[in-house]
Amino acid sequence: MKANIDYLTSLANNDNVQAQYQLSQLLLDSDPNQAQYWLKRAANNGFLPAHLTLNKLQLIYSQTVKEVNYVQDNFLKIAQHGLIHGTYEFAKLFLVTNQKPFSKITAELKSKINNLLPDEQLQIIDNKLNSINSSFKFALTERQSLLPPNNNSQQLVALIPKVVPKSICKNIIEFRKGHVEPSHVVDPVSGERIRNQIRQSKSLTLDLSEMTLEEAVLLKIVSDIFELGWSNCEPVNLIRYDEDDYYGKHHDCFVEANKGTSSATENNRLYTAILYLNEDYDAGETKFDKLGISLKANTGDMLIFKNMKDGSPDLSLIHEGAKVKGVNPKWVMTFWFREQSLLKESE
């Protein structure tokens, strides 16, 4: 490893852009500052993949809407210079950040990227967007409340069937299944992610910079359902429950009694959406004992619920993911939406 780094460094010092870029990738985990230095050198030498990676890093660290818009514009410029990955990154941000409903922006996106991708890739994107859009529009008409008819109107627990096509769900599992790690929970006092016996599973956290185009579209869809901006959503959780894995009884809000020094309750989790990516597992129901709800959903179904009532956590929304049985794992994607955006409007 060291010999390889030394060799690449000697080439990079002589402005070999391929070596500068390769060196930056090797150093990203061990020495991020040095990695960014070589990325910038490669970018300044006109190497488009370095521009792309720098822009993705900038998206990770963006704290304002203006910064995200700047990154989106840069992705478009990279795409216009012929880098296909730049087109996909631009498309992803354009869809997610646009305030218009998903159904009204797909045509606009197609017109923007029409000359930036080969015809066969444009057709693949077009097919995926049309498939998701058709499923989404139909699913909204089938939305069904899981609450008793006389329940408090401020409460929301509903199932939206077949929001996402099975093919998209399968793609996500296949693409991500090798990257999940033991799950954590957020400590209510410190705000840090910690291991806890209440949650036995494996998971992967995805922020917008790491999402595929398909995953970003799902974020946009959930944003539309809740009528909130994408930036209200925490990084999305992809979760795998193997045999005997579970998520014990918990509330998705940061409950006031456990607030401690955490600022989480000042911008709490208002809504949750759970997308079920498969159905070929045994047990593993989602249960709300206080509401008498036990749900075993189908592939592509989405469960949505509102965690708060009158500005405080609604304790009737305490729920659990029961133990999974059998050899097939249970896969879900979880979206937690805060009351307010996690981005600032400006500095």
Residue 189 confidence class, pLDDT cut points 50, 70, 90: low
Model confidence at 260, in pLDDT bands (50, 70, 90)?
very low
Q: What is the pLDDT of residue 3?
A: 76
Q: Same domain for 264 and 189?
A: yes
- Asked whether residue 97 is assigned to any structural domain, the reply reads yes
Which CATH number belongs to the domain containing residue 64 in this structure?
1.25.40.10
Domain count for the chain: 2
Average pLDDT over residues 293-305: 97
Same domain, residue pair 158 and 306: yes
Cβ proximity of 322 and 287 under 8 Å: yes
Are 84 and 181 in a shared domain? no
Question: Has residue 258 got a pLDDT over 60?
Answer: no
Distance, in Å, from the CA atom of 69 to the CA atom of 97, rounded to the nearest integer, reads: 8
Residue type, 143: R
Across 161-180, average pLDDT: 96
As a whole number, mean pLDDT of residues 37-55 equals 93
Residue 235 pLDDT exceeds 90: yes
Tell me, yes or no, whether 87 and 188 share the same domain.
no
Confirm whether 75 is domain-assigned. yes
Give CA–CA dist 240/172, Å, rounded: 12
- What average pLDDT does this structure show over 60-80? 95
The whole-model pTM stands at: 0.90
Q: What is the pLDDT of residue 259?
A: 45
- State the residue range of the domain holding 40: 2-112
Q: Are 295 and 146 in contact (CB under 8 A)?
A: yes
Regarding whether 162 and 19 lie in a shared domain, the answer is: no
- Which is higher by pLDDT, 89 or 266? 89
167 with 268, same domain?
A: yes
Which is nearest to 249 in space by CA: 321, 190, 168? 321
120 in any annotated domain:
no
Q: For residue 143, give the CATH number of its domain.
A: 2.60.120.620
Count CA within 13 A, CB hemisphere, residue 190. 6
The Cα–Cα gap between 326 and 283 comes to 8
Q: Is the dihedral of CA 174, 176, 178, 181 positive or negative?
A: negative
pLDDT band at 194 (very low <50, low <70, confident <90, very high): confident
62 & 151 share domain: no
User: What is the predicted pLDDT for the residue at 345?
Assistant: 78
Indicate whether 347 belongs to any domain: no
| Residues 212 and 284 both lie in one domain | yes
Q: Domain check: are 74 and 149 in the same one? A: no
Quick one: average pLDDT of 161-166?
A: 96
Domain boundary among 112, 143, 166: 112
Among the residue ranges 17-31, 176-190, 198-212, the one predicted with the least confidence is: 176-190
Question: Does 261 score more than 70 pLDDT?
Answer: no
Structure tokens at 295: 């749900």
